[in-house]
Amino acid sequence: MENLYKYFKRDISWLSFNYRVLLEADNKSLPIYERINFISIYSSNLEEFYRVRVADYRSVAYGNKEGDGSREEALQIIHEITAEVNKQLEERIRIYDQTILPELKKNKVFFYQNKQEVNPIHFPFIHQYFDDEIFPYLQPVPVQKGIIHTFLRDNRLYMAVRARRWKDFDAPFEYFTFKLPYSKVPRFIELPQQEDNYYIIYMEDIIKMNIHKVFPGYDVDGRYCFKISRDADIFIDDVISSKINMEKELKKKVKRRKMGAICRFVYDRKMPDDFLRFLTEAFQIDANELVPGDKHLSLEDLRYLPNPKKELQINEKPQPMRLNFLNEKESIFHYIRKKDLLLHYPYHSFSHFIHFLYEAVHDPQCTEIMITQYRVAENSAVINTLIAAAQNGKKVTVFVELKARFDEENNLATAEMMKKSGIHIIYSIPGLKVHAKVVLILRCNKNGQITTSYGCISTGNFNEQTANVYADTSLFTCKPAIIHDLRLLFAKLQGEIIQPVFKYLLVAQFNLVSQLKLLIHREITLAKSGKKGRIILKMNALQDTNMIDELYRASEAGVEIDLIIRGICCLIPNQPYSRHIRITRIVDSFLEHARIWYFGNNGQSKIYLGSPDWMRRNLYRRIEAVTPITDSSLKQELTDMLTIQLQENSRACWVDENLKNIFKYQPGDTPTRPQYIFYEYLKKKNHPDIS
Residue 241 pLDDT > 60: no
pLDDT of residue 286: 85
d(CA 33, CA 202): 17
Taking the CA atoms of residue 75, residue 81, residue 85 and residue 87 in that order, the dihedral angle to the nearest 10 degrees is 100
Q: What is the pLDDT of residue 246?
A: 58
Question: What CA–CA distance (Å, rounded) separates 622 from 618?
Answer: 5
H or E segment and range at residue 597: strand 595-599
Residue in 124, 319, 141 with CA at minimum distance from that of residue 209: 124
pLDDT in tens, 479-511: 999 999 999 999 999 889 989 999 999 999 999
pLDDT at 430: 67
pLDDT tens-digit profile of 372-416? 987 777 778 999 999 999 999 999 999 887 665 555 666 777 778
**Domains of the chain listed by start with CATH number:** 10-312 (3.30.1840.10), 324-499 (3.30.870.10), 512-686 (3.30.870.10)
Mean pLDDT of the 205-227 span: 95
DSSP 152-183: PPTT--EEEEEEEETT-TTSPPEEEEEE--TT
Q: Tell whether the model's pLDDT for residue 180 goes beyond 70.
A: yes
Whether the pLDDT of residue 691 is over 70: the answer is no
Q: Find residue 112's DSSP bridge partners.
A: 201
Distance CA 614, CA 568 (A): 10
Rounded mean pLDDT, 97-125: 95
Question: Is residue 240's pLDDT more than 50?
Answer: no
In this prediction, residue 254 carries a pLDDT of 55
Look at residue 82 in the predicted model and tell me its pLDDT.
92
User: Quick check: 1 pLDDT over 60?
Assistant: no
Give the strand pairing for 438-443 and 470-477: unpaired
pLDDT tens sequence across 508-547: 999 999 999 999 999 999 999 999 999 999 999 999 999 9
| φ/ψ of residue 198, rounded to 5 | -115, 150
* Pair 280, 265: CB distance under 8 Å: yes
Q: Provide the 8-state DSSP code for 289.
A: G
Q: Is the pLDDT of residue 230 over 70?
A: yes
Would the pLDDT of 650 be above 50? yes
| Buried b or exposed e, range 56-89, using 16+ CB within 10 angstroms | bbbbbbeeeeeeeeeeeebbebbeebbebbeebb
Angle between helices 10-24 and 71-95 (to 10 degrees): 10
Burial of residue 286 (number of CB atoms within 10 Å: 0-12, 13-18, 19+): middle
Residues 609-618: what's their mean pLDDT?
A: 96
Which amino acid does the sequence have at 561? I
- Tell me which of 329 and 100 has the higher pLDDT: 100
Count the alpha carbons within 13 Å of 91 in the hemisphere toward its beta carbon: 17
Q: Rank 201-205, 229-233, 401-405 by mean pLDDT and report only the highest.
A: 201-205
Least confident of 202-211, 241-250, 355-364, 534-543: 241-250
Q: What is the pLDDT of residue 687?
A: 75
Nearest to 226 by CA among 262, 173, 183: 262
Cα–Cα distance, 257 to 274 (Å, whole number): 31
Cα–Cα–Cα angle for 579, 581, 584, nearest 5°?
Answer: 130
Check pLDDT > 80 for residue 688: no
Q: Which residues are catalytic?
A: 435
When pLDDT is cut at 50, 70 and 90, the band that residue 166 belongs to is: confident
Rounded distance, CA 650 to CA 412, Å? 42
Residue 599 has pLDDT above 80, yes or no: yes
How would residue 234 be classed by pLDDT, with cut points 50, 70 and 90? low
Section 173-198 average pLDDT: 94
Kindly state the average pLDDT of the residues 462-467: 92
The pLDDT > 70 percentage for the chain reads 92
Provide the 8-state DSSP code for 321.
B
Average pLDDT over residues 592-606: 97
**Which whole-number Å values give the CA distances from 251 to 230, 254, 255, 451, 570, in the listed order?**
18, 5, 6, 41, 35
Helix H or strand E encompassing 224: strand 218-230
Say which residues have a Cβ less than 8 Å from residue 594's Cβ, sequence separation at least 6: 459, 460, 471, 472, 473, 538, 539, 609
